[in-house]
Amino acid sequence: MDLVAACRAEAMNPDLVPVDWLKFWKHESAGEDWIIDPILPRGRHAGIFSSAGQGKSLLALDISAAMASGRSVLGRPSLPPIGVLYLDLEMTLEDLWDRLDDLGYGPDDDLSKLYYYQLQRCPLGQPRRRRCTRDHGAAPPPGAGGP
């Protein structure tokens, strides 16, 4: 299926509805809620941007592994472990092993809440991301639709 056909198919999705502006403006904002203040908001999308080779993947893995194992991250106090879904489109298992080792993780560390998927060769559309998120007990961001 080409990109245009995929977009048309998504637009025909019965779960896809436009914003109801009357309801929208009556809704009060819940305010800011952070997983890692002020870097990673709860229930919202976040992105890390830089040139190639600057450490985006290493930073994402550091944050993800720390959150999943309950370690301190970015100088913040440690918190109880939480489930983290990590969809990786670039690293090999060797890269992952090297990076986790460099971050101080090993066989004795509990990474059972880090749901890590290698997807270099596997396109993952929104329905499969939703299913994967649901399977690991994570909630999609508000407005992203249900699983």
Enumerate long-range contacts of 88-94, CB under 8 Å, 24 or more apart. Answer: 88/57, 88/116, 88/117, 88/118, 88/119, 88/120, 89/119, 89/120, 90/57, 90/120, 91/57, 91/118, 92/118, 92/120, 93/118
Q: What pLDDT score was predicted for residue 108?
A: 97
> Average pLDDT for residues 13-38, to the nearest whole number?
84
What's the pTM? 0.66
Q: At residue 142, does pLDDT exceed 50?
A: no
Q: Does residue 140 have a pLDDT over 60?
A: no
Q: What is the pLDDT of residues 75-86, one digit of tens each?
A: 989 999 999 988
Q: What pLDDT was estimated at residue 56?
A: 92
pLDDT surpassing 70 at residue 64: yes
Closest to 64 (Cα-Cα) out of 111, 101, 104, 118? 111
If you average pLDDT over every residue of the chain, what do you get? 81
State the DSSP string of 72-138.
Answer: -BTTBPP-----EEEEESS--HHHHHHHHHHTT--TTS--TTEEEEE-TT----HHHHHHHHHHTTP
What mean pLDDT is predicted for residues 101-121?
A: 91
Q: 60 pLDDT exceeds 90?
A: yes
Reported confidence tier of residue 146, pLDDT bands at 50, 70, 90: very low
